[in-house]
Structure 1
Amino acid sequence: MSADTGTTAQQQTIGRARTLLLAVLCGAAVANIYYAQPLLHTIGAAFGVGDGTAGLLVTASQVGYAAALALLVPLGDLLERRRLVTVLLAACAVVLALAAAAPGFGLLAAAIALVGVTSAVAQIAVPLAASLAGNHERGQVVGTVMSGLLIGILGARTVAGFVAEFGGWRWVFGAAAGLMVLLAVVVRLGLPVVPPTETATYPRLLRTVLGLVRREPELRRRMALGAVGMGCFTILWTSIDFLLSGPPYGFGPAVVGLFGLAGLAGALMAPLAGKLADRGHQRLVVTLGLVALAASWSLLGLGGVSVVALIVGVVVLDLAQQALQISHQSVIYALAPEARSRITTAYMVSAFLGGTLASAAVAVIYPAGGWLGVCLLGGVVALVGLGVWFLPRT
């Protein structure tokens, strides 16, 4: 029996407490792969490596995350989800502790890649929330949970910056390990058992992901747009540390981390975008979001000399990305309700491959072209997204 049944889809409701728990879980889990971003300059100096090499830590976390999206997240349809979430949170605590104790850069990169793998538990929690919610509230619930995810991504920068400023970068990963242990306990006590929706073998389960991609043209379109949005998001947050740490700004980790607060405005967009999705306005949200995403890079380009333009550009980009993400997920979760974890896998693998390619491109382009070079890259990626959106439907 599907987790969407039990009463009826309309009568079913997830409840505020469980929605908030899943939002916190998503935020705390996904934050793990972003703690390093405002610390790249500091970590590089500690291990004697350059900014370009330090930037590969972001690539390592994204590669690990993308691999888990492809291989672990589909298990959300095959296994009991509360137990799966609890096990992954405990494993995440272990590898975060390893990152905190890493004696060299290579071992740190390996540990951070494993942090990326286990932190994909956030993407098991999102379809879990969609399954527990009723049809009448699903968009808003997903929007709230995704608000938690965005707060985690951007709040991670602020938290990491302050902790590193006053206690050193290793304390960031140590504290995160403790938080994962606490969440594992709370999830075990606070969430219901959620039966699997699939009985296939694991290899067949993975093959059905490809079947969904082949069968659903709208899923393919949203996958491409997800890659564009995550690419722009990653270009900004991978490179902004280098801009703010060097001339003309020269900020320390704590101040660099504060810039994550500017992006938190995007979290305010999530519930609104979710409500618009519930009311059938996804196309308007995507069109406006892609236009804003492209426009944000003009403001960010001026941010090399103007901190005001930089902050406004950050706010616009993150508002656009959050609105786009909610609209995409609202649409794809309606395509195959019995396969929401696999739908998530297809969409998020595409999105994070886009982010991985973007972070690798930043590692090459920033040393050669500086801040304007990465802003040009971001603008081109955003324009590609507009082109994809306006291609004829098939």
Structure 2
Amino acid sequence: MLSALLVVMIGAAIRFTMPARRPEHTAGYRALLASLPRLVRDIPVLRRRALYHACLFGSFSLFWTVVPLLLTSDAFEMSQSGVALFALAGAAGAIASPIAGRMADRNRTRSWTRIAIGCVLIALLAAALAPAGSALGLSILVGAAILLDFGVMTNVVLGQRAIYSLGPQLRARLNGLYMAIFFVGGGVGSALGGFVYAHHGWTAAALTGAVLPVLALGYFLTERHD
């Protein structure tokens, strides 16, 4: 109920404060949909940013799919309320959004993309090494959750900033493609995490999540920078 109330308040604020925006294109809805594959083919920035974030969001989804199973297991024996408080602590990573926006405006997207990928990698490695069933282990997991959220939020903002700069007439389609591609990565990460955890346990699942930012970093290093 509180969430619904906040959504109504946000909607009212948007209605009275946001300027009207009318897209400049004249194409119909079917033509716009038909143009999507061509945009993916012809715009390398979209492909890169989407694939970077597909890897990072895959790690994010893997972590948040599996960590509740770990916390409610015999290792920590936490209740659902305890898991909810853990997730709330992880939400502190949302402070990344304004920071990432400022860095992108200062043309520091490339260096902060490295930072974002590094944060996700370090978070998953730390989570894999957290000793189960101890206060130290729980503290490491909380820190990993915050760092993970920080890295993922930073990268998504950097990606949106990069694709939005390609032209106002393309923004809606580019953003739709960007989110669709990285949510596929999130789905893969979630499914993979559950499978690995069920068969090999927490450490193996977290290390599997760490592989994804390594893949993103490898692809990032092939990016030309003039």
TM-score (norm 1): 0.52
Deviation at 1:179, TM superposition (A): 5.2
For residues 344-363 of structure 1, the aligned pairs below 5 Å read 344-363=175-194
Corresponding residue of 1:321: 152
- Secondary structure of the residue aligned to 1:275 is helix
Corresponding residue of 1:242: 69
Q: Distance in 2 between matches of 1:322 and 1:180?
A: 21
**Kindly tell me: are residues 327 and 187 of structure 1, through their superposed partners in 2, closer, same or farther at Cα, counting changes over 3 Å?**
closer
Q: Distance in 1 between matches of 2:153 and 2:4?
A: 27
Contact 2:97 2:154 (8 Å CA) reproduced:
yes
Corresponding residue of 2:89: 262
Q: Distance in 1 between matches of 2:67 and 2:33?
A: 37
Corresponding residue of 2:30: 203
Q: Distance in 2 between matches of 1:193 and 1:392?
A: 37
Q: Deviations over 1:37-72 (max 9, x none)?
A: xxxxxxxxxxxxxxxxxxxxxxxxxxxxxxxxxxxx
**Kindly tell me: are residues 296 and 205 of structure 1, through their superposed partners in 2, closer, same or farther at Cα, counting changes over 3 Å?**
same
With 266-275 and 222-231 compared, the bigger mean Cα shift is at 266-275
Corresponding residue of 2:197: 366
- Secondary structure of the residue aligned to 1:385 is helix
Deviation at 1:383, TM superposition (A): 0.8
The question of 1:375 aligning with 2:202 is answered no
Q: Distance in 1 between matches of 2:130 and 2:67?
A: 10
For residues 120-269 of structure 1, the aligned pairs below 5 Å read 176=3, 180=7, 183-184=10-11, 187-269=14-96
Unaligned runs of 5+ in 1: 1-173
Which amino acid letter does the alignment assign opposite residue 263 of structure 1?
A: G
Unaligned runs of 5+ in 2: none
Contact 1:286 1:327 (8 Å CA) reproduced:
yes
**Kindly tell me: are residues 279 and 181 of structure 1, through their superposed partners in 2, closer, same or farther at Cα, counting changes over 3 Å?**
closer
Q: Which has the higher contact order (CA 8 A, sep 6+)?
A: 2
**Kindly tell me: are residues 277 and 185 of structure 1, through their superposed partners in 2, closer, same or farther at Cα, counting changes over 3 Å?**
closer
Deviation at 1:336, TM superposition (A): 2.2
Deviation at 1:225, TM superposition (A): 0.5
Deviation at 1:345, TM superposition (A): 0.9
Q: Deviations over 1:91-148 (max 9, x none)?
A: xxxxxxxxxxxxxxxxxxxxxxxxxxxxxxxxxxxxxxxxxxxxxxxxxxxxxxxxxx
The question of 1:297 aligning with 2:141 is answered no
Q: Distance in 2 between matches of 1:334 and 1:264?
A: 28
The question of 1:393 aligning with 2:224 is answered yes
Deviation at 1:387, TM superposition (A): 0.8
Q: How many residues align?
A: 221
**Kindly tell me: are residues 287 and 185 of structure 1, through their superposed partners in 2, closer, same or farther at Cα, counting changes over 3 Å?**
closer
Q: Distance in 1 between matches of 2:107 and 2:41?
A: 25
Deviation at 1:282, TM superposition (A): 0.5
Q: Distance in 1 between matches of 2:155 and 2:173?
A: 20
TM-score (norm 2): 0.88
**Kindly tell me: are residues 178 and 316 of structure 1, through their superposed partners in 2, closer, same or farther at Cα, counting changes over 3 Å?**
closer
Over the aligned positions, Cα root-mean-square deviation in angstroms equals: 2.1
Contact 1:224 1:351 (8 Å CA) reproduced:
yes
**Kindly tell me: are residues 304 and 207 of structure 1, through their superposed partners in 2, closer, same or farther at Cα, counting changes over 3 Å?**
farther
Corresponding residue of 1:47: none
Deviation at 1:298, TM superposition (A): 1.5
